[in-house]
Structure 1
Amino acid sequence: MNISMSRIQAIFMKDYKEFSRNYAVSVMVFMPLVFAFLYNKSGSATIAAYFFSINIAFSMVTTYVQCCLIAEEKEKNTLRSLMLSPASLVDILIGKSLFVFIITMVVVALTIFIAGYNPANLFILAIALILSTVFYIALGTLCGLFSKTIMEGSLITLPVVLIFTCGPLTLALSSASPIVKIAEWLPSSQLVLLAEALEGSYTTMDIIIPIASIIVWSLVTWIVAGFIYKKRMVD
């Protein structure tokens, strides 16, 4: 499997130009920063409050921007040409994801800084945040493949924003309702549980289970996205 850095760079620059021209998409990077600023001013210094802003960054920046960039390609009928180009599946997926990955890392870092969050173990948390970024990019890719226009992409990502951002807020109710307990296994919820464990005396399993859960979510989502992508090539 050959990976062409020149093709990846070309796709990266193309996404950067499209992102900078589309203000309806690029303005979304400010949403988690606004929430982080409000939480900081309100004096709410809880893990749940910090990660509400971080999960908003993942759903409203990572997933939304990735979805809209792919949907815009489909709307302009350029994704088909990209699929039929000499660029391999890996070249295209890395090229289409690299820009969003960098944007996400910058936004998440700024969100943590503005919110005033000081993680107890930055190294372990950074690994979880990187893995979460990989998952949400896969989710955005999947949403984009099902969208024909940017407008459709905006609507498709709404359930993602609601489920993965608000899911961790239901953890307090998980003991009262077995159905709500399912939300505990969402990647966003596992991220919160990991951060809470790191603030106290944690065990190895407290780290392995959340990280393993996020990895499984990422693998499954990327496999499905790759399958749908290949299906679109012969559609």
Structure 2
Amino acid sequence: MTFSWKRVNAILQKDFKDFSRNTAVSIVIFLPIILAAVYGRMGLDSIQAHYMNINMTFAMVGTYVQCCLIAEEKEKNTLRGLMLSPASTLEILGGKSLLTFLLTIIIVFFSAFLSEYKPANITIVAFAIVLSTLFYIGIGTLLGLVAKSVMESSVIVLPVIGIFTVGSFVTAWTEKYPILKVAEFLPNVQLIELAEKVEQGAGFVQVFSNLGIIGIWVVVVFALTVVVYRKRMID
């Protein structure tokens, strides 16, 4: 079976209609923008401040919105219809992720603009942001497939929002609590570390390890997502 952009586009259009009708979900995309505008007016210009907002965008848009959209499909039994359609796993998951991907990138751009974040190397940072976006969408898809309803999805996604938004501050306590060193391998912490290196003039070679760790997270979460998705196909 060949990959069909027509089927992906059809899924994208359906998701956009569902998203625009669900104000409880669609309103969250404005929260990071409002926070970024506040940061810009307060003159907060540290990497930690910028990336707390960017990581919030990933969690609130990339994960929360994606999780709710998938859970809503399950609750309405329309996801099963997609599974039984001629569309492949890649087409369905790609189509279901495309809207969230576009929204996340757009919100990150406007948030960075409003908070006046200007990275020293836009190419490296943009690549890292795209890679991170894929991870958070993967988490959202996985949680959406596990959740039994939209209400449940909005609850199980809360730990993700907490860990990947303010969890980066845990690294400040690693000297006192060595066990917390594992937090240094979280994708949000790696993204902040990458951004700090970029501001010091680092190139792709110097940040390759950070990109590699984020990439491993992406591969793992999408592998789990495909396994859970295919299990739902035969349930």
> Do they fold alike, i.e. is TM over 0.5?
yes
Map of 1:227 onto structure 2: 227
SS in 2 for 1:116: coil
Cα-to-partner distance string for 1:179-219 (whole Å, 9 max, x where unaligned) = 22111111000000000011114365531111001100000
Q: TM-score, normalised by structure 1?
A: 0.97
* Structure 1 contact 63–140 (Cα < 8 Å) conserved: yes
Q: TM-score, normalised by structure 2?
A: 0.97
**Distance (whole Å) between structure 1 residues aligned to residue 187 and residue 198 of structure 2:** 16
**Distance (whole Å) between structure 2 residues aligned to residue 38 and residue 206 of structure 1:** 33
5+ residue gaps, structure 1? none
* Structure 2 contact 124–204 (Cα < 8 Å) conserved: no
SS in 2 for 1:2: coil
Map of 1:9 onto structure 2: 9
The alpha carbon displacement at 1:175 in A equals 2.7
Map of 1:46 onto structure 2: 46
1:158-177 alignment runs, 5 A limit: 158-177=158-177
What count of residue pairs does the alignment treat as equivalent?
235
Cα-to-partner distance string for 1:56-96 (whole Å, 9 max, x where unaligned) = 00001110011000000011111111111111101101100
The alpha carbon displacement at 1:53 in A equals 0.4
Cα-to-partner distance string for 1:72-121 (whole Å, 9 max, x where unaligned) = 00111111111111111011011001111111110000010011101011
Deviates more, 1:36-45 or 1:80-89: 36-45
Identity %: 49
**Distance (whole Å) between structure 1 residues aligned to residue 204 and residue 228 of structure 2:** 36
Map of 2:130 onto structure 1: 130
The alpha carbon displacement at 1:18 in A equals 0.2
**Distance (whole Å) between structure 2 residues aligned to residue 177 and residue 35 of structure 1:** 31
Map of 1:62 onto structure 2: 62
CA RMSD between the two structures: 1.2
* Structure 2 contact 124–203 (Cα < 8 Å) conserved: no
1:190 aligns with 2:190: yes
**Distance (whole Å) between structure 2 residues aligned to residue 234 and residue 142 of structure 1:** 17
